[in-house]
């Protein structure tokens, strides 16, 4: 069974909470029989106490996730995000990716900041790329954000004004949550991370997926502040560029799969892209696991963590994702 699950879900697509759920369901407790030269049981490894504790812990985490999801839905409804192009299934998908990766109850602030950032990131990209949004409006949006003005005062764009207000509330909430947990003001770091991403987006730099932004948001909200010197280090820059590149490739690969393959040339391009993705993921893993004085392992691990969610989305069918969402967020372990 474990081999079958491993073949169905590649390691690069493995999300911690999905893997934990299936392991609990496959774990036989005291009834597990190990096969060697003879059949035997190992009570220190397989026993019902471990199984019961695992189920209790899983259901406790799931209850916390369900509470957060209800709050997430309220946020969605109160700010009428559907009007800004966000479907409920995308909202659920974004929260699931965060909850299935950063699952610990005490890390609620990181989980919610991640999911909300992914949502508002998609909204901003859509707004910036919309044919009715002028260059003047994009520049005004960026200028007002950078000067911390809560609204677009130099443009008539009601949509831009509204998006900026939603983003400001997200950052204020993330800063407040972090202050209560970390005892530290992270508002400046959050503002800088978003400001840099918005500048790149406005310049036409390929950052639509927001992978690097999500990495920065997660690390900042978790209290993993990276120094300016470390960020400018070639190794850290390579981590950032490689993560952005592989996430862009994965997003393209996912879109092509949705559109379907019509001819041999398109199929060859997709196969070539798939091979490059595998090579880049392998290179990313090597960068993350190697010893380094540039950034601690938690900071580096975040790059891989985000990349794996993109890999998961690109390689799992809609049916598989819906099945995992149901298992992780809504079905109790019994």
CB 157 within 8 A of CB 133: yes
The whole-chain average pLDDT of the chain stands at 88
Determine what percent of the chain is predicted with pLDDT higher than 90: 67
Is the pLDDT at 9 greater than 50? The verdict is yes
Is the pLDDT at 324 greater than 90? The verdict is yes
- Per the model's pLDDT, the better-predicted residue between 313 and 36 turns out to be 313
CB 99 within 8 A of CB 332: no
pLDDT computed for residue 123 by the predictor = 97
Query: Averaged over 2-13, what is the pLDDT?
Result: 73
Tokens in use for 308?
A: 């794996």
* Whole-number Cα distances in Å, 61 to 8, 161, 255, 299, 333: 25, 37, 33, 24, 11
pLDDT computed for residue 238 by the predictor = 93
Q: pLDDT digits over 283-308, tens only?
A: 999 999 988 777 788 999 999 999 99
Tokens in use for 167?
A: 């983003």
Least confident of 26-40, 144-158, 223-237: 26-40
The whole-angstrom separation of Cα 218 and Cα 223 is: 9
- Per the model's pLDDT, the better-predicted residue between 255 and 152 turns out to be 255
pLDDT computed for residue 50 by the predictor = 85
The whole-angstrom separation of Cα 13 and Cα 321 is: 11
Confidence of residue 281 (pLDDT cuts 50, 70, 90): very high
CB 272 within 8 A of CB 253: no
Q: In 3D, which of 214, 231, 224 has the Cα closest to residue 186?
A: 224
pLDDT computed for residue 151 by the predictor = 45
CA 54 remoteness from chain centre: 25
* Whole-number Cα distances in Å, 307 to 31, 203, 236: 37, 24, 15
Query: Averaged over 266-293, what is the pLDDT?
Result: 88
pLDDT computed for residue 152 by the predictor = 46
């Amino acid at each position: 069974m474990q081999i079958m699950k491993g073949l169905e879900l590649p390691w690069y697509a493995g999300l911690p909470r999905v893997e934990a759920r299936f392991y609990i369901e496959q774990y036989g407790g005291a009834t597990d029989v190990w096969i060697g030269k003879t059949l035997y049981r190992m009570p220190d490894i397989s026993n019902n106490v471990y199984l019961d504790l695992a189920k209790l812990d899983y259901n406790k985490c799931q209850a916390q996730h369900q509470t957060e999801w209800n709050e997430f839905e309220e946020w969605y409804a109160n700010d009428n995000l559907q009007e800004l192009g966000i479907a409920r299934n995308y909202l659920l998908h974004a929260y699931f990716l965060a909850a299935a990766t950063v699952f610990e109850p005490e890390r609620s602030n990181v989980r919610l900041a991640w999911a909300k950032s992914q949502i508002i990131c998609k909204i901003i990209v859509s707004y910036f790329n919309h044919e009715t949004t002028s260059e003047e409006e994009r520049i005004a949006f960026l200028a007002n954000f950078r000067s911390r003005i809560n609204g677009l005062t130099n443009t008539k764009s009601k949509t831009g004004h509204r998006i900026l207000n939603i983003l400001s509330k997200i950052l204020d909430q993330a800063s407040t949550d972090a202050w209560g947990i970390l005892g530290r003001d992270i508002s400046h770091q959050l503002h800088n991370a978003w400001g840099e991403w918005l500048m790149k987006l406005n310049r036409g730099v390929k950052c639509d997926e927001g992978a690097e932004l999500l990495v920065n948001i997660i690390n900042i909200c978790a209290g993993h502040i990276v120094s300016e010197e470390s960020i400018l280090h070639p190794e850290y820059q390579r981590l950032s560029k490689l993560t952005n590149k592989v996430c862009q490739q994965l997003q393209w690969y996912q879109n092509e799969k949705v559109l379907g393959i019509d001819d041999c040339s398109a199929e060859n391009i997709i196969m070539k892209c798939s091979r490059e993705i595998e090579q880049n993921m392998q290179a990313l893993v090597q960068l993350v696991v190697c010893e380094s004085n540039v950034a601690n392992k938690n900071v580096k691990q975040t790059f891989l963590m985000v990349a794996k969610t993109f890999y998961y989305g690109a390689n799992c069918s809609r049916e598989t994702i819906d099945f995992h969402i149901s298992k992780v967020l809504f079905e109790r372990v019994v």
